[in-house]
């Protein structure tokens, strides 16, 4: 497998997710923290206007702008669409990137802990995910990958890389413990890549648990689109915990419980994520799979 020569750490793809933004600022101020002997590391603040206004985005979600057809479009571009093309020019182009590994830093209001989000199952990504989850047992691996379907996330510019999603943390604030945990995971990742380039990695043979994206679930709504129920208290904050048929899922304003009624158990993630209300997403349902790496 080819060595990694250039790596990019991206923060602020969403302008109100301060953990990644201020980590990038810290790394720019103290570049020795991310300097390794055998590859070059660059940093990028993805959405500076969003950060300036403490908004997730100005016109549209930047992390949904990286399909090839969007990147090749030059007509009536809004701010994030223009920004995506700029980022693609720096890091990409998608499919033939200048960088060999992308590390995109995010935060969430959901109780996701430390999560690695994969947009493909490249062997290197699976190996580093297995390593990170072995040295940091609290790390979860969420696969947002549908074979044959192009991914629109920034991280999809490059085949090798992943996003780090950390939470729960409110939008537009910093939280020291989660900041430190994210930075530690970045440092471990850089060390792993350095050892990989040197051919010094110990053989990793492990069962990697992956939470594989199944589908989105919206809040119960009226025909006019008004929410009529909330996440049930017994489900709130229970990201990555098993949801079985008959378990409480939503609670209506009339105090009626809506139960999960499908045949098979699932593992919900991004439960009650604040940024997903506008997307009509109450949670993402996943299946739990174990693969040997």
Task: Please write the tens of the pLDDT for every residue from 239-281.
Answer: 999 999 999 999 999 999 999 999 999 999 999 999 999 999 9
Q: Is a pLDDT exceeding 70 seen at residue 235?
A: yes
Mean pLDDT across 198-223? 89
Mean pLDDT across 166-186? 98
Topology of domain 214-283, CATH = N-terminal domain of TfIIb (2.20.25)
Q: Is a pLDDT exceeding 90 seen at residue 165?
A: yes
pLDDT at 201: 78
| Collapsed DSSP state (helix, strand, coil) of residue 222 | coil
Domain 6-204 architecture: 3-Layer(aba) Sandwich (3.40)
Share of the chain above pLDDT 70, in %: 99
For residue 216, give the H/E element and its range. strand 207-217
Beta-bridge partner residues of 41? 7
Long-range contacts of 197-202 (CB under 8 A, 24+ apart): 197/3, 197/4, 197/38, 197/39, 198/38
| Collapsed DSSP state (helix, strand, coil) of residue 291 | strand
For residue 41, give the H/E element and its range. strand 40-45
Question: Cβ of 204: how many Cβ atoms within 10 Å?
Answer: 14
Q: How confident is the model at residue 147 (pLDDT cuts 50, 70, 90)?
A: confident
pLDDT at 207: 84
Rounded CA-CA distance 199/192 in Å is 10
Q: Where are the domains of the chain?
A: 6-204, 214-283
Rounded CA-CA distance 270/189 in Å is 24
Contact 17, 111 (CB under 8 A): no
What are the pLDDT digits (tens) for 27-73? Answer: 999 999 999 999 999 999 999 999 999 999 999 999 999 999 999 99
For residue 42, give the H/E element and its range. strand 40-45
Mean pLDDT value across the chain: 96
DSSP 273: -
pLDDT at 205: 65
pLDDT at 200: 86
User: Which three-class secondary structure string do you get for 121-152?
Assistant: CCHHHHHHHHHHHHHCCCEEEEECCCCCCCCC
pLDDT at 202: 63
Contact 240, 140 (CB under 8 A): yes
Greatest Cα pair distance in the chain: 62
Rounded CA-CA distance 83/60 in Å is 11
pLDDT at 116: 98
More confident position, 204 or 244: 244
Q: Is a pLDDT exceeding 70 seen at residue 203?
A: no
pLDDT at 206: 74
């Amino acid at each position: 497998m080819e060595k990694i020569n250039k790596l990019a750490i991206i923060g602020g793809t969403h302008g109100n997710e301060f953990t990644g933004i201020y980590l990038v600022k810290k790394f720019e101020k103290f570049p020795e923290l991310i300097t390794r002997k055998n590859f070059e590391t660059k940093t990028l603040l993805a959405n500076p206007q969003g950060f300036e206004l403490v908004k997730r985005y100005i016109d549209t979600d930047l992390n949904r702008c990286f399909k090839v057809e969007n990147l090749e479009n030059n007509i009536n571009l809004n701010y994030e669409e223009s920004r995506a093309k700029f980022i693609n020019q720096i890091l990409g182009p998608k499919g033939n990137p200048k960088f060999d590994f992308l590390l995109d830093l995010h935060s969430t209001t959901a109780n996701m802990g430390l999560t690695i989000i994969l947009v493909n199952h490249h062997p290197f990504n699976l190996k580093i995910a297995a390593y990170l989850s072995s040295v940091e047992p609290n790390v979860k691996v969420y696969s947002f990958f549908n074979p044959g379907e192009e991914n629109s996330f920034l991280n999809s510019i490059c085949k090798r890389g992943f996003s780090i999603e950390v939470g729960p943390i409110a939008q537009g604030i910093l939280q020291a413990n989660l900041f430190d945990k994210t930075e530690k995971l970045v440092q471990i990742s850089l060390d792993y890549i350095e050892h990989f380039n040197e051919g010094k990695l110990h053989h990793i043979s492990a069962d990697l648990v992956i939470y594989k994206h199944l589908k989105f679930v919206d809040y119960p709504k009226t025909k006019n689109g008004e929410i009529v129920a909330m996440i049930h208290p017994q489900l709130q904050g229970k990201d990555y915990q098993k949801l079985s048929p008959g378990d409480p899922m939503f609670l209506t304003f009339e105090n009626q419980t809506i139960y999960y009624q499908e045949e098979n158990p699932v593992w919900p993630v991004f439960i009650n994520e604040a940024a997903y209300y506008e997307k009509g997403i109450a949670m993402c349902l996943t299946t739990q799979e174990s693969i040997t790496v």
